[in-house]
C-alpha cells in the first residue's frame, strides 16, 4: 500500500480510537511479528492509518501475516500533509468560485446603487433589506427609535443580528425617547447590547425613525404608518442624516432605568420643559403627547402639576404665566458644535432594536 493510499483510507474513516494507541504500545515489544491476541479492529485501523506495516498473506500453506511498527512521527507528518493538501484544494476551489461570482457581484452593486435609493414596501421586505445591511455592517450603526418601550417580540428578533454585528467590532449608538426607559423588555435589551459595547441614550423631544449603517446606507420611513421604508445610498444625503443624528445624540442623556438618580431627575425636568414649550405654542394635549412619545393621560398629569405649581386656573392663563415666568429662557439648551462629521431597531424599521 502506498503512502497516498494509506492516507486516503485514513481520511475516509481509518481514524484511531484511544484504545488503538494502547494496542500499538502493547505490540511494540514483539514487533516485527504477528499481532496475536490484539483486537482485530484495532489492528485494522492501525494498518489503515499507517502505524503498522502488514506483510504476508495468512491462511494455511501461506506466509503468516506479520506486522512491523512504523514511526508515529512519520505517520503524523504524512497526515498533516494530507490535511494541508485538502485545505489548499479547498482554498483553490473558493478562489475559483469567487472569480465565477465576480460578474454577478458587480451587476448587483451597479443595480443597487444606480438610483441612489430604493423603496421597500411591507414589513417582510423592509426587515429583509435591513437584515442584509446589518450583515454587511462592520464599522458603525446609528439608530433613532422614537415612541415608547419596544415590544418584547420586536427586541427578541433584533437582538441576535445586533449582537453578531457588535461582535464583529462595529460601534453602535441608539437614541430612544425618555419614556422607553420604563419598559422591562427595553431595559433587558439595552443591558444586553451595552455589555457588548453599544451606547444608548434617550431624548425628550420627538424625532424620526432612522438607521444608518457605516455612514453609507440609511433607512428612513417612507410613509407615516411606516409600512414603507426608503433605503438611501446617496453619500451627501446619508452624511446629512448622520450629522442630524449626532446633534440629537449630543442633547440626549445616557439610558438608565427609572430610579432616584441624577439622570432621572434631569429627564423629569427636560420632560416638563418640553411640555411647557408645547403649552406656550398652543399645542393640544394629543399633539404634545405624540411628539414626546407619552400617553395623553400622562401629558395631562404633567400639565395639571404645572398648573398647580404656577397657580393657573385655565390653559390660556397657564401659557401666559409660563411665558411671563421666564422659565423657558432660563433653560435654553446649548447649541452643539457645528461639524460636518462629528466624531463619534422596530416592526417597520425595527430589525435593529
Look up the pTM and report it: 0.52
Angle of CA points 245, 251, 255, to nearest 5°: 90
Task: Work out the average pLDDT over 33-58.
Answer: 81
Domains of the chain by start residue, with CATH: 1-114 (1.10.10), 117-254 (3.30.870.10), 262-331 (1.10.10.10)
Q: How confident is the model at residue 139 (pLDDT cuts 50, 70, 90)?
A: very high
Predicted confidence (pLDDT) at residue 57 exceeds the cutoff of 70: no
The pLDDT score that the predictor gives to residue 13 is 43
- CB burial readout 87-105, b (16+ within 10 A) else e: eeeeeeeeeeeeeeeeeee
For 66-120, the pLDDT digits (tens) are: 888 888 888 777 777 778 888 888 888 888 888 888 788 777 666 666 668 888 9
Tell me what percent of the residues of the chain surpass a pLDDT of 70: 79
The total of other beta-carbon atoms located within 10 Å of residue 351's CB is 25
The pLDDT score that the predictor gives to residue 246 is 93
The closest of 175, 181, 182, 183 to 203, measured between CA atoms, is 175
pLDDT averaged over the chain? 77
Angle of CA points 263, 269, 270, to nearest 5°: 85
For 225-243, the pLDDT digits (tens) are: 878 999 999 999 999 999 9
C-alpha–C-alpha distance, residues 67 and 53, integer Å: 5
Amino acid at each position: 500500500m502506498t503512502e497516498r493510499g494509506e492516507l486516503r483510507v485514513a481520511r475516509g474513516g481509518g481514524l484511531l480510537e484511544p484504545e488503538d494507541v494502547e494496542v500499538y504500545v502493547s505490540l511494540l515489544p514483539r514487533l516485527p511479528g504477528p499481532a496475536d491476541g490484539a483486537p482485530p479492529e484495532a489492528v485494522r485501523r492501525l494498518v489503515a492509518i499507517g502505524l503498522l506495516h502488514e506483510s504476508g498473506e495468512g491462511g494455511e500453506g501461506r506466509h503468516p501475516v506479520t506486522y512491523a511498527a512504523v514511526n508515529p512521527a512519520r505517520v503524523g507528518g504524512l497526515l498533516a500533509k494530507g490535511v494541508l493538501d485538502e485545505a489548499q484544494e479547498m482554498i483553490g476551489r473558493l478562489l475559483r468560485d469567487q472569480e465565477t461570482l465576480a460578474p454577478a457581484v458587480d451587476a448587483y452593486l451597479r443595480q443597487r446603487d444606480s438610483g441612489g435609493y430604493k423603496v421597500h414596501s411591507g414589513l417582510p421586505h423592509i426587515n429583509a433589506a435591513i437584515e442584509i445591511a446589518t450583515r454587511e455592517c462592520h464599522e458603525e450603526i446609528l439608530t433613532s427609535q422614537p415612541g415608547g418601550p419596544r415590544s418584547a417580540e420586536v427586541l427578541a428578533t433584533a437582538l441576535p443580528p445586533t449582537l453578531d454585528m457588535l461582535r464583529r467590532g462595529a460601534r453602535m449608538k441608539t437614541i430612544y425617547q425618555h419614556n422607553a426607559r420604563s419598559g422591562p423588555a427595553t431595559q433587558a435589551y439595552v443591558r444586553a447590547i451595552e455589555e457588548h459595547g453599544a451606547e444608548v441614550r434617550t431624548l425628550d423631544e420627538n424625532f424620526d425613525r432612522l438607521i444608518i449603517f457605516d455612514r453609507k446606507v440609511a433607512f428612513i420611513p417612507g410613509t407615516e404608518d411606516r409600512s414603507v421604508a426608503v433605503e438611501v445610498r446617496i453619500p451627501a444625503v446619508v452624511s446629512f442624516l448622520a450629522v442630524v443624528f449626532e446633534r440629537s445624540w449630543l442633547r440626549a442623556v445616557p439610558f438608565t432605568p427609572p430610579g432616584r438618580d441624577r439622570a432621572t431627575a434631569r429627564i423629569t425636568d427636560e420632560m416638563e420643559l418640553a411640555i411647557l414649550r408645547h403649552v406656550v405654542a398652543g399645542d393640544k394635549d394629543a399633539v404634545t403627547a405624540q411628539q414626546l412619545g407619552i400617553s395623553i393621560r400622562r401629558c395631562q398629569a404633567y400639565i395639571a402639576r404645572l398648573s398647580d405649581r404656577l397657580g393657573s386656573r385655565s390653559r390660556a392663563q397657564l401659557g401666559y404665566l409660563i411665558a411671563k415666568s421666564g422659565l423657558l429662557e432660563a433653560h435654553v439648551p446649548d447649541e452643539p458644535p457645528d461639524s460636518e462629521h462629528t466624531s463619534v431597531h422596530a416592526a417597520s424599521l425595527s430589525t435593529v432594536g
